[in-house]
């Protein structure tokens, strides 16, 4: 952990954290790397991974493990769920409440310690693009 108190490492971590703020696209580590690289040209992908891991451990960012492909990162650390579009790969924030289901689980003897729900399917944009244009409204 010594390395993280080094000023350069802190600067890199701050840049990574800053790059994520307000980014609702839920970028991958590689996308974050490309963004931060514009500001810190010497940063490596490995450094980005290391710092992301640390930010996740500190609860400053959220890691979203997905069924296929690399993990996505979220600056929102509040309790919310995700929808991943199979076609375009966009990740959307969902306001799905798990409260009732969780209470039912607890009632039947389960203790939930972590939760992460990712729903997969077709997003509105892709659904519209995929549908046969029968309407003249479009």
Rounded CA gap, 80 and 118, in Å? 10
Interface with Zn ion, residue 32, by CB under 5 A:
no
How many residues form the binding site for Zn ion (CB under 5 A)? Answer: 8
Interface with Zn ion, residue 93, by CB under 5 A:
yes
Q: Which two tokens stand for residue 55?
A: 């930010």
Stretch that binds Zn ion, among 32-40, 52-60, 86-94, 107-115 (CB under 5 A): 86-94
Interface with Zn ion, residue 45, by CB under 5 A:
no
CB proximity list for 47: less than 8 A, separation 6 or greater: 9, 12
Interface with Zn ion, residue 20, by CB under 5 A:
no
Interface with Zn ion, residue 23, by CB under 5 A:
no
Q: Which is nearer to Zn ion, 35 or 90 (CB)?
A: 90
Interface with Zn ion, residue 87, by CB under 5 A:
yes
Rounded CA gap, 49 and 51, in Å? 6
Rounded CA gap, 60 and 69, in Å? 23
Backbone angles phi, psi at 31, to 5 degrees: -65, -40
Q: Which is nearer to Zn ion, 23 or 40 (CB)?
A: 23
Interface with Zn ion, residue 44, by CB under 5 A:
no
Q: Which listed residue (3, 45, 88, 102) binds Zn ion by CB under 5 A?
A: 88
Q: Which listed residue (16, 33, 74, 84) binds Zn ion by CB under 5 A?
A: 74
For residue 51, CA distances in Å to 4, 29, 70 come to 9, 10, 16
């Amino acid at each position: 952990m010594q390395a993280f108190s080094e000023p350069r490492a802190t600067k890199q971590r701050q840049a990574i954290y800053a790059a994520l703020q307000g980014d609702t696209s839920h970028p991958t580590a590689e996308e974050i790397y490309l963004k931060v690289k514009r500001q810190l040209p010497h940063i490596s992908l490995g450094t980005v991974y290391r710092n992301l891991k640390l930010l996740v451990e500190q609860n400053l960012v959220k890691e979203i493990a997905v069924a296929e492909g690399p993990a996505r990162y979220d600056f929102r650390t509040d309790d919310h769920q995700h929808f991943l579009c199979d076609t375009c790969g966009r990740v959307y924030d969902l306001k799905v409440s798990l409260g009732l289901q969780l209470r039912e689980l607890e009632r039947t003897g389960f203790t939930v310690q972590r939760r992460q729900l990712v729903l997969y399917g077709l997003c509105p944009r892709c659904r519209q693009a995929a549908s046969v244009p029968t309407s003249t409204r479009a």
